[in-house]
Amino acid sequence: MTSHQSTQTMKPATAAKKLGVYLEATPAEFREGVVTRAELNELQANPPQWLQDLRHNGPHPRPVVAAKLGVSIAGLARAGVTEPLTTEQIETLKQEGPEWLERERATQAEVRKEAARIKKKNAERAERQA
């Protein structure tokens, strides 16, 4: 019996997520096909112009918007930001500094501080047990 090396494929939505781009903004041929692991690796290593433009200008998916604003995805939802934003829109929000953005950034900072405290506590506990 011989084993066949099957080509690993993924849906365009999965590939777009891995590339950090908004699926609806990608070219039709990307959205309508399947993406192999090799194609994804090639897109990551040598991004075509459309991918470079999307990464630079957007529109960006929620995880990217949240990261660029320094808030959580839930924070975006609480603020009513549900649509993808362009880089220009993100920069405008940063400059305007609305109250919700400052509040969500503070919340995110507290979450990170608490996560670091817990990680340190667990590391100390592991050291004592070793």
- The string of pLDDT tens digits covering residues 100-125 is 999 999 999 999 999 999 999 998 88
What is the rounded average pLDDT for all residues in the chain? 89
For residues 123 and 71, membership in a common domain is answered with yes
Q: Look at residue 1 and tell me if it is in a domain.
A: no
pLDDT digits (tens, 9 = 90+) for 29-41: 888 888 889 899 9
Q: What domain range includes position 119?
A: 58-129
Instruction: Answer yes or no: do 112 and 66 share one domain.
Output: yes
Spatial separation of the C-alpha atoms in residues 106 and 37, rounded to whole Å: 39
107 found inside a domain: yes
Per-residue pLDDT of the chain (130 residues; tens, 9 = 90+): 455 556 788 899 999 999 999 999 999 988 888 888 989 999 999 999 999 999 999 899 999 999 999 999 999 999 998 899 999 999 999 999 899 999 999 999 999 999 999 999 998 888 888 7
pTM of this structure: 0.75
Give the CB-side neighbour count of residue 95, counting CA atoms within 13 A: 6
Q: Is residue 2 part of a domain?
A: no
Mark whether 108 and 97 lie in a shared domain: yes
Domain count, the chain: 2
Report d(CA 52, CA 107) in Å as an integer: 32
